[in-house]
Amino acid sequence: MAKKARASQRREESLSREHIIEASIELLDSSGEGGLTFRALSERLATGPGAIYWHIADKSDLLTAACDAIVARTMEALVAGAKPKATIRALALGMFDAIDEHPWVGSALTQAPGELPIVRILERLGQQVRALGVPAKEERATVSALLDYILGVGGRNAANGQLARTRSLDRSDFLEALATAWSQLDPEEYPFTRSMAGQLRDHDDRKDFLAGIDLILRGIEASRRV
């Protein structure tokens, strides 16, 4: 009995937390958050649930850990020593691409608002905002605006992509249909939306996202000159 227990412990210790997290990321990418179960993970790792529970408390812990791995890689990819504005732009675009590649990350971040993944992003943004000379009393609001924009727009873009894939929609066909519908709106009641129809056909989501970041950065600069 003691020999079996020791063998079981060795198997549990040989299966690292990092290995479990990587397998979880693969499972989340292929099956979404709903497909992440300890049973499915056990089958992927060819082990028993007990070996996983040795390292991971529950599904929430697993999802947060997987999310943190993606966020950590994104932060590590940033160029050290770059100027604050360049770092903010690179961070924002890096998170936009990460959430687009791993759509579950957006949901995972909202489910763990005070956990390490958010803290990593918050800290990096905060350091850059402080380096830009934003007054201390305005730092929190400034960082919150950037964080909310990055996660909100990045999450919505990923959700749109998921919806399109689920419904087998071609992006260009969808945008063409939407642009056509907008162009037929009442010009007196919807003048602005109607005027955007032509731009909708060939817009670039990443460029639009980055344009929003630049607007926030220009607002930060303008507030410092007042």
Domain ranges of the chain: 7-56, 70-225
Per-residue pLDDT tens for 30-73?
Answer: 999 999 999 999 999 998 888 888 888 899 999 999 999 999 99
- What fold does the segment set 70-225 form as a domain? Tetracycline Repressor; domain 2 (1.10.357)
Residue 144 CA to residue 117 CA, distance in Å, equals: 15
For residues 33 and 20, what is the distance between their CA atoms, to the nearest angstrom? 15
| Torsion sign, CA atoms 148, 149, 152, 155 | negative
Task: Say whether pLDDT at 226 is over 70.
Answer: no
At residue 12, the pLDDT reads: 44
CATH topology of domain 7-56: Arc Repressor Mutant, subunit A (1.10.10)
Name the band, by pLDDT with cuts 50, 70 and 90, for residue 11: very low
* pLDDT above 90 as % of the chain: 65
Q: Which of 59-63, 81-85, 159-163, 181-185 has the lowest mean pLDDT?
A: 159-163
User: pLDDT per residue over 91-128, tens digit each?
Assistant: 999 999 999 999 999 989 988 888 999 999 999 999 99
Report the Cα–Cα distance between both ends of the chain, in Å, rounded: 75
Mean pLDDT of the chain: 88
Q: Provide the pLDDT for residue 2.
A: 43
Residues 154, 108: contact at Cβ < 8 Å? no
Mean pLDDT of 161-188: 83
- pTM (2 d.p.): 0.86
* Alpha-carbon torsion, ordered 153, 157, 158, 163, to 10 deg: 140
Structure-block tokens of residue 67: 């999310």
Cβ 91 vs Cβ 55: under 8 Å: no
Q: Which residue intervals of the chain are DSSP H helices?
A: 2-14, 17-31, 38-45, 49-53, 59-76, 84-101, 104-111, 116-131, 136-166, 171-183, 191-195, 197-200, 205-225
Band the pLDDT of 14: cuts 50, 70, 90.
low
pLDDT of the residue at 1: 45
User: How many C-beta neighbours within 10 Å does residue 89 have?
Assistant: 17
Q: What is the pLDDT of residue 202?
A: 82
